[in-house]
Amino acid sequence: MPLRRVFIANRGEIAVRIIRACLQQGIETVVGVSVPDRESMAASMADRAVCIGPGSASASYLSQERLISAALGTGCDAVHPGYGFLAENADFAQLCSDNDLIFVGPTPDNIRSMGNKLEARALARKFEVPLAEGSVRITDFTHAEQIAGEIGMPLLFKAAAGGGGRGIRIVNQPADLRSAFDQAAAEAQAAFGDKALFMERYIENARHVEVQILADTLGDVVHLGERDCSLQRRYQKMVEEAPSVGLKDSLRSAIHEAAVRLSRNIGYVGAGTVEFIVDLDREDFYFLEMNTRVQVEHPVTEMLTGVDIVGEQLRVAAGLPLSIRQEDVRLDGHVIECRINAESPAKGFQPSPGRITAWTPPKGAQIRLDTHAYVGWTVSPYYDSLLGKLIVRGSDRAEALDNMAAALADFEVEGPDTTLPFLRHVLSAEDFRAGRFNTRWLEAFAPSFQALPA
């Protein structure tokens, strides 16, 4: 049954992105907005905007009852959660279903099984997806000490109940084990309400590579290639690109096949991303986690393949088959994405809320900008600092890098501080341009920007 009216339970650029996808399919949209977001771009674009509460996310974008009430009260037949907030909340997906609202995303069982990292690892092992050496559930330090002796240093503590970089600590030497355990457990308890951890061997020279998956209710699963998301700061991605750099074709194919195998065997439905860590020294890969939602960086893949991932989400939610088959997927050139955040790189990337007084983005045939920012918009301190995503293509990586450098140079923003100066610095780095980077590179590189003259 085609979707008629979709309620968007999110804000910012992803709300705008969903509205545009709905417009293309002739679907009406209602966006839920908090009080500070009443003048947002999404509110002006949707067929209707409904206030769902004050600025605090817990009283608005995270209030399941308010969102369901707003969706039902405006006659919507589906809910798109975007990313973040409730996008990977199985209870919310179930609540939508219980109220005869189609959840534009995977099933509650999909979300639950991949949301618990230990269950996800068990499923990966069952379906022969490679795993780094790791542990069972850990809740006390004595147990952690025993397992650390078996795995060896360095190792990682991770939260069993969730991801997103929270509850992670690297341990390089036994003397640091106790403090890392206590900090990771406390962070896991605060973020997920569950202090349980598990441990993995830490791979120092690694790349973060993720495979975009689409699956429909008829059992068809396709992959749209992979993205390299190794440029991260405090586990938050800043620059993504596709295809990933320097992977042998055999390794690339094995990663794709593993992602499809896992998705098919767990009966996955919708858009998802299977994330892997690639050990550059061993030339091998290991399962990290599966994100059961559309990713922030999905435009990289859309621009590379021409496939409308959000559009496919809407098709699958309506019970339609995917519009593409695996043999239809073509990779066109090389694509890079930079995240433009309202942050002050020179001040340790502190958030920089405030009113935007000038906003002049670059334009061109090889440039895409996903944003919700405009002149006069006030960046709120309540939410994440993402202003937009600049996505640029080239015929190969060298051309894409040159195009991105030029686009960043042309991008002018006044008002809040932004990450634009830092991104320009990254694009000029010889090691990045040569592909000599791993998941630790950006953290080590950042101080070189902060040392520049003001």
Contact between 66 and 60 (Cβ < 8 Å): yes
Beta pairing partners, 125: none
Task: In whole angstroms, give the CA distance from residue 422 to residue 450.
Answer: 9
The answer to whether 227 is a known catalytic residue is: no
Contact between 314 and 22 (Cβ < 8 Å): yes
Task: In whole angstroms, give the CA distance from residue 34 to residue 279.
Answer: 43
Candidates 293, 315, 339, 397; catalytic one = 293
Task: In whole angstroms, give the CA distance from residue 112 to residue 109.
Answer: 5
Two tokens, residue 114: 């991949």
Two tokens, residue 191: 């973020």
Task: In whole angstroms, give the CA distance from residue 368 to residue 393.
Answer: 9
Q: Which residues contact 453 (CB under 8 A, 6 or more apart)?
A: none
Q: Which residues contact 447 (CB under 8 A, 6 or more apart)?
A: none
Two tokens, residue 186: 């406390």
DSSP character at residue 51 = E
Task: In whole angstroms, give the CA distance from residue 425 to residue 189.
Answer: 37
Contact between 359 and 314 (Cβ < 8 Å): no
H or E element that contains 392: strand 386-394
DSSP character at residue 152 = -
Task: In whole angstroms, give the CA distance from residue 265 to residue 57.
Answer: 35
Helix, strand or coil for residue 248? coil
- Angle formed at CA 331 by CA 329 and CA 335, multiple of 5 degrees: 135
Residue 190 has, within 13 A of its CA and on its CB side, a CA count of 9
Task: In whole angstroms, give the CA distance from residue 185 to residue 203.
Answer: 21
The number of beta carbons lying within 10 Å of the beta carbon of residue 82 is 24
Could you give the residue numbers annotated as active site?
Answer: 293
